[in-house]
Amino acid sequence: MSHNIADVQVELKAKKIKPDSPWRSAFRRLFKNKMALAGMIVLTLMFLFSFIGPYFSSHLDAKISVRNANLPPNETHWLGTDKLGRDVLLRTMEAGRVSLLVGIVAASIIVLVGGTLGAIAGYYGRFVDSVIMRLADILYAIPTLPILVALGAILSDLKFPPDKRIYLVMFIVGMIAWMSLSRLVRSQVLSLKEQEFMLANEVLGLRDRRKIFRHLLPNTVPIIIVAATLGVANSILLESTLSFLGLGVVPPTPSWGQMISAANNMIDFQNRPWLWVPPGVCILLTVVSINFIGDGLRDAFDPKQKR
Amino acid sequence: MKQLLIRRLIQSIPTLIGASILVFLVFTLAPGDFVTQMSADANMTQERLDEIRALHGLDQPLYKQYLTWMGNLLTGNFGESVLHRQPVTSVINTFMWNSFLIAIIVLVLQWIIASIVGIMAALRQYSIYDSAVTLIVFMAMSFPSFFLGLLMLKFFAVDYQIFPLGGMRSTGSTLTGWADFWDVMKHLALPVIVLTLLNIGSLTRYFRTNMLEVIRQDYVRTARAKGLKERVVIFKHALRNALLPLITLFALEIPGLFSGAIITERIFNWPGIGRVVLDGIFQRDYPLLMGFTMLLVVLTIVANILADLMYGVADPRVRNR
Amino acid sequence: MSSTLVEFRNLKTYFYTEAGVVQAVNDVSFSIRAGETVCIVGESGCGKSITAMSLMRLIASPPGKIVGGEILFEGRDLLKIKESEMRMIRGNEIAMIFQEPMTSLNPVLTVGDQIMEPLIEHTLLSKSEARKKAIQLIEQVGIPRADQIIDSYPHELSGGMRQRIMIAISLSCDPKLLIADEPTTALDVTIQAQILDLLRQLKKDRNMSLMLITHDLGVVAEMADYVVVMYAGKVIEEGPVKEIFKNPRHPYTKGLLLAKPVIGQRKERLFTIPGQVPNPIGLGENCHYSDRCEHAMDICRASQPALQKDGADSKVACWLYEGEGAK
Amino acid sequence: MKKRSFSLFLCSLLTGALLLSACTQPAAQPTEQNQQQPNQSEQNQQEQTKAGEKKELGYIKATDPSKVPDSAKQRTDTMVLGITDPQGIFNYWFYNTVYDRYVIEAVTERLLSVAKDATVIPGLAEKWEISDDGLTYTFHIDKRAKFSDGKPVTAEDVAFAYHVLLDPKYDGRSNLSKAKIKGEDAYKNGNATSLEGVKVIDPQTIQVQVEEANATTLLLLGTEIFVLPKHYYGKDFAKGNLEYIKSLHQKPMGSGPYILKEFIPGQEVRLVANENYWKGAPKVKNLIFKSTTAETQIQSLKTGATDFDASISVNADNVEALKELGFVDLDMLLNNGYGYIAINHKLPKFQDKRVRQALMYGLNREEVVYAYSQGYAEVIDVPQSKLSWGYPDESKLTKYSYDPEKAKQLLDEAGWKLESDGYRYKDGQKFTIQFSASTPNEVNDALIPIAVENYKELGIEFIAEQLEFNAVIDKRNKGEHEMAFLAVGLSTDPDPYGLFHSKGGSNKDAYSNPKVDELLEAGLKEFDQAKRKAIYQEAYEIINDDIPVLFMYQRYNLNTISSRLSGFVISPYKYFSESLNEVQIN
């Protein structure tokens, strides 16, 4: 009746059961979520539209010609022309590059800075916690606009190349928008610290850094993901508001926000929809799809998620 | 609890000082001052500009300006707004409460709708209702504020004239009491709708995420095993735990009640503080800006202390720390 | 023999997941008599908890669903009655305690509050009466300083004390049946013994039946009047505890008993049953234990043995005893 | 996925997810945002007017007065004037924005006024004499003049005005020290208790002595002085104590046609007619200034919320929309000011006149101006309004119409050689221009793309940077700018001293041309208008040739008046608010 170990190992190998890493199963679950799928497709189209689209346009070297300004959509200009006679379709594509990159730059900073600082504040508590949280208080209260105005001037004194400036602006925007995420991560870490698995780590004598990044942060992944997707979405919207207030991208480089804000009087709004509909739809599709992907990621990533 | 309060109040003093220095630097770093505006005038001469700067102490070294400003602040004198040539406190007082009126209505609406919609979406996860709500919520979040504002203005005020074209009261209205109340309500309807739509998205998703987390916990299953009504299980057991992380979000809304919505106030011509501060930024009205920002800093600190206190009340595990 | 309190008849509970249909509980029938302790034994994943949850009708649907069979409680089929009627039974006539005391209590409500809830819900006691009853219950489950404990929070109590509170909660409305889903697995041995003594004592005082779910044969030996052995969603053997321990019939039951360490018998290696519990998805019509059973015959791999009477009060589902080749 | 750090992985996953392509059939494609197609009034859009063709100027009558909305008709005794949000400083001595000035001119009056064609006419003073040496000015106050509380306007009130404007603590916009009144220094910095040069002869006459006079002194002492009641504002007034005056900003009192009843910040200003106004009671009983925004100005007129608007920006869209209303008169006139591009003469590359002329020839200014205003602004070649008597004879000026070849030729002459990379270099330096553009600004939005293109053709790299308005002005005041677009307002007097004299107050471009300096100084000293006109003719010819700044445009200004109102007296030199007592509802 006795079976020795060897046979058991043989049998196990025979069945070649691959251990299923959390990422692969998360990926599989992500693919099953139909909304997230749609989001990914639309977002990929947006990327192709923005980064590859322009090469197909026949108006690449078109000069500014006030003659055919504000033409409605016609066969040469599928989406009509803007106030300076430039092809709206081409501009929308080029604008996509700026808006998408701006969104991702700001969001990754929010996630990196906010998540880390939140976890550290939550984990160490007392002194470290109050310093980080008070810094967050101050930054939270300072209105972003004056900082951006001051920043604009400083950059001009330093002779910073104008077209790169929007990314630095977005870096700064990221640096002053991480507070709400850090606060959420901190509160999550505070309650997580009470649970047994952290006590178990304590017992194992793991280094603090490992405990924070390997154990605490992964458990805050759902909140981080929600914040990351909101971060990308809000950054794209913030860029458009900045353009509305004139602090966004420097003409002639276009961004979706700038194209919409160009049509901010009632007349363009009513009589020339082709000026603001394309960028508006682009922002809408991009932001909605990013949010769906974020949501899908949240469901897929959640270790406790039973589907 | 009291001990936590005292510790936090003591901690807030260095924060206030740090904030005041940062606030002062941010504004003085911004190039030009309100006198620069005047230099565009044809009959202005450089001597005259320097005279005015001296009168306002702008020619003093930075640290001296800071000390005088802080000195006045501590005695409650926020200085005089250069743009409105009135004490900063009275300028803030006139405009802030208009912003507060809209913000408080939006806050109440936003939290009620977001909680109901968010919880329902969590309870019926992956149902049609859930994806419909998610879609609408994402759509609302994806509009730039001025875009949504103009769209609303176009449909409701210009094309169908259901709501007035902006402003806070009808022109030359001498109404009082309830009539005046309804007149103001009619005027603030559109800004409230726009702001609620804009803010509702992220909150609904936070409610949904937290609710999903909590519903799978063991104690919810225990509650059901006790034979409690489903309503009690969800709203007493599950919701209380789901609310914990959102308390911090609620506390963070408090400063927002007073800071005003710059873009919406501009589009709907609402006499709020947001618009006044925006003009203040572009016309370099330092006393007004610094005074108002310090007020917001104090509010934020109070809000955060409140958040931690409320968190302690709500979550016994953190309470006795 | 006292009357039958609960009778499971061909209960089928399936789970519809992405990977396929999991037949967690597949045609299970057995009964629990009033005042009797029935232990349901089996490896994890054999469907014993699902059976209990089906009795309480707490299967989350989607993805789970009770697809067939009946559960008669005092003659009433619990699967047919309306949800509101079922809710009146839960916590009142049938109560349940769970394995994980650390997370089974709501962290933000006081212990007293959670004990009083079923009282206020089912027995319409006033708040003050409910509080007095709660203090009594806390004392009955053997926790000192009951009047202070009632206002404390779950995180302030030890694992053992929390399980006692869970028991206090379940007993608050004098249920006829108490389901205990591996109540002591998460506790250390000394506490485990105290909890089991408490359960035995309470069962005797209140003439309550106890449905104890466990994978620990030691607990079965100590507590059970009657034992039901489950494997891969089916009942493969049941009988009085002495019969099962002295004269196990089904090869799987034998394997289980052999795997138990016996004091005094030194062995260099404990017996292990070869192979693994089969994947619950796509179970065939064969005897699910056939690929691990050393007595497996062709018939075993072809079709399923039915649960046959085998002796006075025992049953077994195995082709060995199907009259054909009774050794 | 060996690497295990979660946060890094999160970002790569996010971008990774974005680049995935093949996947199963997507269920719910996010719905296309369906835009409701507004009414297309495209027909007139097609026949684009050629750039630069003149648009109609002057008073365009309403085509169909009957279409005045009922809500406006119901206001039988009230008129609502739309202006941008005033700041509530209704005191000429301390106001900042022109919107406050509209309210000021409804409530208070000035010592001397200005006619439509900018000539000085009586105000509160019915007549005035200037001594032969031009140093003593005597003003005789109209006996009928009374404040709204019935008390007469006296010389004492005028003296009060002079003293406040020269007070050591005065920080308002008026710059009376330019008039150089005798004893100003002693009063301002010394311990004199009153201005030596200001004498009250009798309640109706006041005499002012100045140390040095020029052609603008009369304007400084007369048309720039608003007279406020000393008995109301002067309570416990002493040198250095203006606090009480400042507390009355929102409760002004003056001798004007209207009395301020109520100011609702951010909303409206309500005024009622001053029945015993000394020039006859105004015809409309109630006056309301309502705050309007750029987004809703035209709609307010359309829905009858306002009867008039002074700040609708002039472009083809707005004019077309206003004409569609039918019941609105459009008073189109040339704005008394011009737009220009400042050049920093400290930089060697701009010091050569030929380079500056090349920058003029090389920029297609017609296209920029047309793109910005759709024809509602005119390109200028000299920094003066066409309506001013000081405007030079155009035949003697060079017209810098767009001529890239001439510009290239000038650049070659100036030694900027064209290299292989398409850019011009001189002693090793590439010709680049850093242009500081203030935002948001419609002119810059049009100018930058065109300038980038035009100057690239010449071989000049034009780099635009976006800065907030004050940042641009501050940068220019410190002389750290290279090029920046600015607009400036002109006064009733044609003297351009401020911007083009080397010691001019607003000349921050280090431009200095001795001949121009000499002419401008002579122009100021001369009193006779004919002689001054000849001086300025010569000065402008030199400026036109020397191109101290790139002249851009003089735009149109638009006052939109509902046809139910009439009687406004408006010109580039006279705001609508100074003739409110003549307005009537027809």
Could you please report the per-residue DSSP string of D135-154?
A: -EEEEEE-TT-B-TTSPBP-
Secondary structure (3-state) at A82: coil
Same-domain pairing of C164 and C42: no
List of residues 6+ apart from B30 with CB closer than 8 A: A146, A149, A150, A153, B281, B284, D468, D470, D471
Cβ distance B43 to D30 less than 8 Å, yes or no, reads no
Q: What is the CATH number of the domain that holds D76?
A: 3.40.190.10
Query: Are D580 and D451 found together in one domain?
Result: no
Contact list, B225 vs chain C (CB under 8 Å): 56, 58, 90-91, 95-96, 98
Task: Decide which of C136, C151, C172 is a domain's last residue.
Answer: C172
C-contacting residues in B 240-259 (Cβ below 8 Å): 240-241, 244
Indicate the DSSP class of residue A211. Answer: I
Query: Is the model's pLDDT at C27 over the cut of 80?
Result: yes
Residue D127: which of D213, D255, D210, D222 has the closest Cα? D222
* Two tokens, residue B27: 């504004």
Over range C72-89, report the average pLDDT: 89
Question: What's the maximum distance between 2 C-alpha atoms anywhere in chain C?
Answer: 67
**Chain C nearest C-alpha distance from A6 (Å):** 12
Chain A contact for D440 (CB, 8 A cutoff): yes
Residue D1 within a domain: no
D303 contacts on A by Cβ (under 8 Å):
none
- pLDDT band at residue A2 under the 50/70/90 scheme: very low
Count CA atoms closer than 13 A to C66's CA, side-chain side: 22
Q: Are D433 and D483 in contact (CB under 8 A)?
A: yes
First-to-final CA distance of chain A: 41
CB C14 within 8 A of CB C65: yes
Q: Give residue-wise pLDDT tens across range C245-272.
A: 888 888 888 888 887 777 777 777 777 7
Segment D238-263 mean pLDDT: 90
Structure token digits, residue D90: 């209704």
Identify the CA nearest to B275 among candidates D190, C320, D267: D267
- Co-location of D117 and D73 in the same domain: no
- B184 touching chain A per CB within 8 A: no
| Contact call for B42 and D506, based on CB within 8 A | yes
Q: Is the pLDDT of residue D125 over 80?
A: yes
**Beta-carbon contacts below 8 Å between A and D:** 187
The CATH number of whichever domain residue D193 belongs to comes to 3.90.76.10
pLDDT tens digits, D375-385: 888 899 988 88
- Per CB-CB distance under 8 Å, the chain C contacts of A3 are 272, 274
ipTM above 0.85, yes or no: no
The answer to whether residues D343 and D368 belong to one domain is yes
Residue A240 inside a domain? The answer is: yes
Q: Is D184 on the interface with A (CB under 8 A)?
A: no
pLDDT-derived band at D141 (thresholds 50, 70, 90) equals very high
Number of domains in chain D: 3
Q: For residue A11, what is the nearest residue in chain C, using CA coordinates?
A: C275
How far, in Å, CA of D313 to CA of D327, rounded? 19
What whole-number distance in Å separates Cα of residue D286 and Cα of residue B174?
13
Beta strand pairing status for D550-562 and D328-334?
antiparallel
Could you read off the pLDDT of A9-51 as tens digits, one per residue? 554 454 555 556 666 777 777 777 777 888 889 999 998 988 8
What lies within 8 Å, CB to CB, of A126 at 6+ separation is: none
Instruction: State the average pLDDT for chain B.
Output: 84
The architecture in CATH of the region B95-319 reads Orthogonal Bundle (1.10)
**Residues C179 and C280 placed together within one structural domain of the fold:** yes
pLDDT at A146: 72
Give the mean pLDDT of D147-167. Answer: 91
Q: Kindly state whether residues C215 and C277 are assigned to the same domain.
A: yes
CA atoms within 13 A on the CB side of C99: 11
Distance between CA A269 and CA A285 in Å, rounded?
20
Contact assessment for residue B103 and residue B254, using Cβ atoms and an 8 Å cutoff: no
Q: In this structure, are strands D286-291 and C94-97 parallel, antiparallel, or unpaired? A: unpaired
Same domain? For C198 and C240 the reply is: yes
Residue D524 contacts residue D146 (beta carbons within 8 Å):
no
Q: What is the mean pLDDT of residues D332-360?
A: 90
Which alpha helices (H) appear in B142-284, and where do they start and end? 145-152, 177-215, 218-225, 230-232, 239-259, 262-267, 273-282
Structure tokens given for D425: 């270099």
Res. A303 pLDDT band, cuts 50 70 90: low
Range of the domain at C239: 4-93+173-326
The verdict on residue D17 lying in a domain is no
- Tokens of residue D409, six digits: 């030729």
> Å from C115 to nearest chain B CA?
10
Average pLDDT over residues A273-286: 86
Considering CB atoms only, which of B36, B48, B171 is closest to D80?
B171
Q: Which stretches of A225-265 are assigned E, i.e. beta strand?
A: none
Asked whether residue D150 falls in the same domain as residue D261, the answer is no
Residue A254 has pLDDT above 90, yes or no: no
The pLDDT confidence band at residue D79, using thresholds 50, 70 and 90, is very high
Which strands form C64-73's sheet, in the order they lie side by side?
C20-33, C4-17, C64-73, C76-77
Q: Which of C131, C151, C172 is the last residue of a domain?
A: C172
Domain with A242, as residue range(s), is: 28-53+80-305
Cα A65–A71–A74 angle (5° rounding)? Answer: 115
- The shortest C-alpha distance from D424 to chain B (Å) reads 33
Q: Are strands D58-60 and D328-334 parallel, antiparallel or unpaired?
A: antiparallel
Q: Establish if A150 belongs to a structural domain.
A: yes
D289 touches chain A (CB under 8 A): no
Mean pLDDT of A279-288: 86
Whether C84 and C116 share a structural domain: no
**Contact of chains B and A by CB distance (3 or more pairs under 8 angstroms):** yes
- D418 and D543 housed in the same domain: yes
CATH 1.10.3720.10 boundaries in chain B:
95-319
Chain C residues whose beta carbon lies within 8 Å of the beta carbon of residue A2: 269, 271
D520: CATH: 3.10.105.10
pLDDT surpassing 70 at residue C47: yes
pLDDT confidence tier of residue D162, bands split at 50, 70 and 90: very high
Interface contact flag, D4 A214, Cβ < 8 Å: yes
| Domain end call among C172, C206, C228 | C172
CA-to-CA distance for C23 and C54, rounded, in angstroms?
A: 13
Q: Which run of H or E residues covers position D126?
A: strand D125-130
Do C58 and C202 fall within a single domain?
A: yes
pLDDT of residue C26: 86
Domain assignment present for residue A166? The answer is yes
Do C252 and C236 meet the contact criterion of CB atoms below 8 Å apart?
A: yes
- 10 Å Cβ neighbour count for A82? 24
Chain A, 277 to 296: residues with Cβ < 8 Å from chain D are 277, 280-281, 284-285, 288-289, 292-293
List of E strands, chain C: 4-17, 20-33, 37-41, 64-73, 76-77, 94-97, 177-181, 209-214, 226-231, 234-240, 308-309, 315-316
D268 with D225, same domain: the answer is no
Q: What is the pLDDT of residues C206-242, one digit of tens each?
A: 888 999 998 888 888 888 999 999 888 888 888 898 8
Please, which residues 72-111 of chain A have a Cβ atom closer than 8 Å to chain B?
none
The model's confidence at residue D54, banded by pLDDT at 50, 70 and 90, is low
Q: What is the pLDDT of residue D12?
A: 35
Rounded distance, CA D133 to CA A12, Å?
118
Number of domains chain C is built from: 2
Tell me the average pLDDT of chain D: 83
Q: Are D349 and D322 part of one and the same domain?
A: no
Global confidence as pTM? 0.79
Domain presence at residue A59: no
Q: Which residue range is the domain that position D376 belongs to? A: 337-554
For residue D202, what is the DSSP state? E
Tell me how crowded residue C214 is: count the other CB atoms within 10 A of its CB. Answer: 22
Distance separating alpha carbons of residues B254 and B304, to the nearest angstrom? 9
Beta strand pairing call for D550-562 and D308-309 = antiparallel
D503 touches chain B (CB under 8 A): no
pLDDT at A266 over 90: no
Beta-strand pair D286-291/D78-83: parallel
Task: Quote the number of domains for chain A.
Answer: 1
Q: Do D148 and D228 fall into the same domain?
A: yes
Strands C226-231 and D258-264 turn out to be unpaired
- Does residue D532 lie within any of the structural domains? yes
A146–B22 CB contact, under 8 Å: no
Q: Is C294 close to A32, i.e. CB distance below 8 A?
A: no
Contacts of range B317-320, beta carbons closer than 8 Å, 24 or more positions apart: B317/A191, B317/A194, B317/C107, B317/C153, B317/C155, B318/A190, B318/A191, B319/B1
Shortest Cα distance, chain B CAs vs residue D489, angstroms: 7
Please tell me whether the peptide bond between D440 and the residue prior to it is cis, using omega within 30 degrees of 0: yes
Of the candidates C105, C155, C169, the beta carbon closest to that of B317 is on C155
3-state secondary structure of C216: coil
Q: How far off is chain B from D418, nearest CA to CA, in Å?
A: 37
> Which CATH number goes with the domain that contains A201?
1.10.3720.10
**C300 shares a domain with C206:** yes
DSSP state of A213: I
Query: What would the DSSP string read from start to end of B96-155?
Result: HHHHHHHHHHHHHHHHHHHHHHHHHHHHTTTSHHHHHHHHHHHHHHTS-HHHHHHHHIII
- Scanning D453-472 for CB atoms below 8 A from A yields 453, 463-468, 471
pLDDT on residue D46:
34
CB-based burial of residue B112 (10 Å sphere; 0-12 exposed, 13-18 middle, 19+ buried)?
exposed
The verdict on residue A97 lying in a domain is yes
